Structure 1
């Protein structure tokens, strides 16, 4: 893959990571001249067409997310049998690696990380995107301690493709919600559960559940209660423990309803760890276990009651027998009633499924309130024909005969898909045009150039419509772009005979830029300019790059009438190459006219200049490449 160019623009430079579903490469976008991460699907997924279809849909949906704590998706593409995603390149380490290094984190640091993850989830959930695989391996911490959550949308495609736990799934199993473990309906609260597990690990340094296999771990999420975090780390505030345990409730309804609610509690505790956190008591809704002491207390009755019972028994034994007979008869009647009621309602009457298509959810619930049917929303999607909030499809289908009670699974419309305009001011217009015009709604960009005294050329000054506006398919965004100052051309100064330092000063005076410097043998002092790429007094635009040839300081020892050198004799030439400043590393390659490689090595651009010793005779042209892109051709006279 190294050296491959995907989509005509992404040049693969090096492998930087591997995962269960993909291999990650560092690449350079030739169009925008920036580094990106390219995630290439592993070969085992290439033949699964249903997976590929879902993968593309979910990845494109995730590309709509724009948040400082979410790794941005720039592009999704296919080249031959290579399926790939182009993402923001983030330098840092995973949260899993960070916890492994530090162990249990200081509670304020862990809360700060939790706030950023929760903020990312809040943004994604507001766009109806659920992650479904929140785990420390999918969370990156940058050098500036900024949290970046990655792989939004991708987990859904994988989970839809297979429900089998594999060895590769072991990492995910430790953070999976109970409803995911049993194959049930997932929503935003599934992400909240997983975040609760991540917080548990950050605050304690250990996982709440562990086992020999993914299935064993998943079963513990379903059945086992985690050890209270404060029993493992006594420095954890009780309020933090309540947040974690609420997020990790087995039942979805007992968790935080939204990431927004959870974030509010985290912020509150960060400021005041003594804050009260409301946790709904599960005992009010579930069968409660009664301890032995309570049973004993129930068995001990007051003496006067016992005496009264004895008195009654002595006074009227026949009455007691009749009362017991009546009670027994009532119990039998109740049991039979329950049995027949169950046989009628749960015994599965076979009825036709009612039609609730095109109804709102509220209308459908009203329609079904006196029946044995209920509604379960499984998905919300955009639809150009069905109004927002109305039911697009249902399962079972209308008229299909089923046994009741029965849940009708429905897909609800989000309305017509629209393009949400972002804030483009201050950005390079080429990047904006690419992102906007590559949306799946065929949005067009019109670029209007304007002069600006303060804003650099190519940067968006203003836009129409403004941020937050929505456009339908085929809409248009107008970008007003700076073309910089209307500057007058400058004359190139005469630099020959100056020292290199003096030549730099002179170029700066005329708003010109020093380019590449090279050396030749000369009787002039070392670092004296002996030629320049642009003629003196030539009219050029400001910031034009000027290359210089300098003397190497070697004095000629031969007289002027030196005999002609023997044919084939070689001389050494020093070629100085100025490295680019727009990247951290560069692959430098120098070849001759025939393509033979004279030099090839990767350099840190902080080195500034690379000096190469080249031997030859006569005149020779050499080509200079940065990252396999031809940037210059030099003629050397030996």
Structure 2
């Protein structure tokens, strides 16, 4: 799905947000309701798969039933040209997995607050008898205000369906999978509670409790290994908080919290002084024999041989097979009976029925043969690998990366691209993250560079929407504000003529945007960084003219003067001049002042049009910054101008001239030797 494609005449695609095993997600703009949305589009290679379609439709049905502030809302469901899609609430932020990575360690109160939001959302799902079955940090979004929202009900299931997990395929993510799901048993509300306990563990420690080389080895640890202690990781974590993790992740579902509400209520008081001396939670072990059954060495070898990254496991069969085989306790009992020489019923029955022994013997032989066949099939399966992401690389670099993944380059095609530079890879076929056999050939599409396109007329459009569209197409977009009677945020004019053909990657368009007619109180901007000043200016519809100079009182990169001064009221659309520090002036030699003359050529926009060329000039020297316009002029013919430079010491200047949005002249490393005589 390419940017600017409009789905069903309403949802204009802006950019990709991510790719999944079942669907791809895009940021789009709802042209009718004028809002950003997330569009989840079923992958083209799966649109004829009835199981995937049913799963996709189940997500729509499950999400429609759930209305909660911490569950991503579903807005629309549709189909176009055989492509099924969901339109959902767009959550600007990141998933919980990345949030933990970027902000770890999280304050305990924040951990509790986020978990309470998640628990509240899951409680609503459970109240509708919907089990998520795939709760993990990757399916929990954190917006810019720190609020959590659960998404991806793609494998959620209603309790009324009584649907069992497929025997040899576990759909959920193995790091957060409950022991009963790993065995292939039916998922319950307690299964979600187990996953919530793992999520809480990760928020407290920064990692998952069980790791392994294969998905199967991790699944085994979930129902064999004890849960690691979070207090061993951080002794400052209260025992009461660790107890929530321990009770939520007991092996036996009956020992977990009865409901999500119970877990939320317990979590709410873990930092209370009344629970400071709480003892460590210990499971009661109320007779879950299934959790005690350990597979034999042969069965473990069979499991280890399974290398499917989607956790294709035989754990479900292991439990059943282990139950059907004679237990150690039975053998011990038989021996004891022989020693006592007592005619117990078990002993006499086995003597009278030799057929039973034969059944057990041949059953064991058949079982071992089945296991041997499974191991043989797994070992004989061809090795697979994932296609790496080579987009943006040169062909040579992509070849090296593919070689590291035991892959080779197949056909190489070339195409124009406004987003990818010339001689860099646009995409691969199969696409990145696709599973292929080792030593497969991967076809590449390499960029021939940008192709010119006709620039549109965006006057009267909303600036923020236009900015997103043009940026995704490869343009550089800038704005200046002007007081106006039209609505704030509306484009008043543009410096690239509508209808002119331009190269997106070479074009910088500057829009004059309406700032309305209100006044704002100007803050003191001294001591601020350039990015902070620009953020303040955008949020208050102000223009900033940056200059630079030396200052012994302010470190380099921060402002030390502004005009007008802070504290007064200015009209929106006004220009504030801010001087940024280059550090203290340690040079003993005076600065050199000189001029460089250039001729700016005029370009007629059409044979019948003699409109003026809009020219913007950018300078860099002791007092000017290259990001700020030095002069903005209109020319009707080729024009000579003199550019003033002031350079101190070894500083080198530069200039850039942009005509009708396109850079036509640029020169770096200017010194006094370039001065016009």
User: Normalising to structure 1: TM-score of the pair?
Assistant: 0.47
User: Normalising to structure 2: TM-score of the pair?
Assistant: 0.45
